Amino acid sequence: MGRVFTASRLALTALLALSTVACNQHTAKGSQDAAEATKTSGRAPGLPVDIKLSRSADDFARFLAGLPGKAGSPFAELEQDPAWQAHSKAFAGEWSRFDENRVPVLSAFQKKELNGEPNNGGTLFYPFGGPDFVTANLFFPENRNYVFVGLEPAGTVKSAQAFEGKNLSATLPLMRSTLNDLLRRSFFITDQMAKQVRGQITDGLLPLMLVQMVRTGHTIRGHAYVTIDEQGQYRLRKLSENTPRNRGVIVEFQRDGSNETKRLTYFSGNLANYGMSINPEFSLYLANLKPMVTFFKSASYLPHSDNFSRIREEVMNNSNAIAQDDTGIPFRFFQARSDWDVTLYGKYSKPYGSFSGRKNLTQQDLKVAFDRGEKVRGLDFYIGYGYGRAPSNLLVARRRS
C-alpha cells in the first residue's frame, strides 16, 4: 500500500450511518437465511472453526459489485435504481479491462514461477496488503487458506435495509474509486483507503474483499466474526464484544463450478514490535498456520524497519516460501542464511515515489544481484509501486529442504 494521499470528497461520508446498522437485519428473504444458518460447513482448511452457511454476504457483495442478484436477493428492488444500474455498467467496464490486461500476465507468471509446493493447498499469509484479494487469488490460486493482516478494521456485512433511502449515486461510485487503485495501479493508496474504510464508504475492509471475490467468479458461502484465543486458535466473537485485539472475519467461498471450499481470514492488528509484544496469541496463531507461504507487495517498506523485526523473523521462520517485491524483507536477510534459494524477476533501481528520497531503503546488494544477472528472470508486467512509471521487481525465495 502506498503513502500517496488524495483528499476524500465530502460525499464519502454518505455511508457513515451504515456502520451503525445491525448486520443481521433482513428483509422477508432473511427468513430463508436464518433457516440456512442452521447448517454448518464443518471443519475448514487451516485452523478449525465452524461457519454458519448463509447467502447474506454473497447478496451484499453482488449488490456492491454491480452484479445482478441471484433469485430471491433482498437487493432486487435496489437494483432498479438508475444509480445502481449506472454503477453496474461502469464497474463491468473496469473489470473487463482488468481481465483483459492484467489477469493473463499474472496468471501466466503464476503457472510458470509460483506453481507446486507449498502453493498447492496450504496457507497464504499476506501482511500489509490491505484487502488485495485479486492478486492473492491470481498468484496463489491453489492455496485453500488465505490470511490477511492490516491496521484497518475488519468490517461487517450489511443488509438491504441499510441502503434504503440512501443516495446511491453519491456512494456506489466511491466503491469503484477505491478498487480502481488496485485494478489500475496494483495497490491501494494507504491514507485514502484508511479514511474510506473507517465509515466513509464502509466500516472496514470486508466489503472490498467480498466485491473482488464475486467479481472473480466466486460464490460466498458464509462468514463469521472471529478473534484468537490464548492457544492461538480461532474463537467466534460477537460484534458487540469489546475485543481488544485480533478483531477478524472469516469468509468461506467457492469458485463457481468447483466443489473446493476455501477460506479467507482478515485480522485487524498491529504487526510492529510493540503490537506483537502484547499479542502473544497472534504469534501462536501464526506458528499454527504452517505449512505457509508469505507474500509482500506494496508494503510501505515496513519489513525494512527495526520496528518490524519480530514479524520479519517470524515470517522467515514459519514460511516455506516467500514471494515479494522490494518493499518486503530486505535481500540481505536471505543472503545471511543458507536455507533459502532465491530467484529474482524484473529490474531493480531504487524505491519509487514518496519513498525515493529515503536512501536507507535503497538496497545496493539487491541492485548488484540484479545487475549480475545470476538467477534473474524477466518480468513482463508491472506490479507494486511505480505502476508502469518505474521498473518492477519480484523476489521468490524457497526454503531448501
Q: Is 121 helix (H, G, I), strand (E, B) or coil?
A: coil
Split into its structural domains, the chain has a count of 1
Return mean pLDDT, the chain.
85
Q: Among 10-14, 150-154, 229-233, where is mean pLDDT lowest?
A: 10-14
Domain coverage including residue 166 = 10-92+123-313
Instruction: Give the residue-averaged pLDDT of 243-253.
Output: 95
376: in domain:
no
Query: Pairing state of beta strands 319-324 and 292-296?
Result: parallel
Yes or no: say if 198 and 110 are a contact pair by the CB < 8 Å rule. Answer: no
Distance CA(168)–CA(77), nearest Å, equals 13
pLDDT of 189 reads 58
Yes or no: say if 47 and 69 are a contact pair by the CB < 8 Å rule. Answer: no
Report the candidate in 202, 175, 172, 157 with the shortest Cα–Cα distance to residue 30. 157
Could you tell me the sign of the dihedral formed by the alpha carbons of 172, 178, 180, 182, in that order? negative
Q: Evaluate if residue 172 carries a pLDDT over 80.
A: yes
Instruction: Give the residue-averaged pLDDT of 227-244.
Output: 93
List 325's β-bridge partners, or say none.
none
205: in domain:
yes
Q: Evaluate if residue 51 carries a pLDDT over 60.
A: yes
Report the candidate in 197, 192, 194 with the shortest Cα–Cα distance to residue 211. 197
pLDDT of 233 reads 94
Q: Evaluate if residue 375 carries a pLDDT over 60.
A: yes
**What is the pLDDT confidence band of residue 199, given thresholds at 50, 70 and 90?**
low
Query: Pairing state of beta strands 218-228 and 340-346?
Result: unpaired
Instruction: Give the residue-averaged pLDDT of 221-238.
Output: 95
Cell numbers representing residue 332 in the block = 540481505
**Which is more confidently placed, 283 or 116?**
283
Instruction: Give the residue-averaged pLDDT of 255-276.
Output: 96
Yes or no: say if 140 and 114 are a contact pair by the CB < 8 Å rule. Answer: yes
Amino acid at residue number 169: S
pLDDT of 40 reads 40
Q: Evaluate if residue 128 carries a pLDDT over 50.
A: yes
pLDDT of 335 reads 96
pLDDT of 188 reads 55
197: in domain:
yes
Distance CA(286)–CA(232), nearest Å, equals 8
268: in domain:
yes
List 253's β-bridge partners, or say none.
220, 262
pLDDT of 389 reads 78
109: in domain:
no
The set of residues, in sequence order, having a beta carbon less than 8 Å from that of 219 and lying 6+ positions away, is 58, 253, 254, 256
Instruction: Give the residue-averaged pLDDT of 176-194.
Output: 65
Instruction: Give the residue-averaged pLDDT of 106-135.
Output: 91
The number of beta carbons lying within 10 Å of the beta carbon of residue 367 is: 16
Q: Evaluate if residue 255 carries a pLDDT over 50.
A: yes
Yes or no: say if 361 and 302 are a contact pair by the CB < 8 Å rule. Answer: no
pLDDT of 31 reads 34
pLDDT of 180 reads 74
pLDDT of 198 reads 52
pLDDT of 358 reads 86
Give per-residue pLDDT as tens, 11-46.
Answer: 333 333 333 333 334 333 433 443 343 334 433 445
256: in domain:
yes
388: in domain:
no
Amino acid at residue number 275: G
List 322's β-bridge partners, or say none.
294, 397
Cell numbers representing residue 141 in the block = 490460486
112: in domain:
no
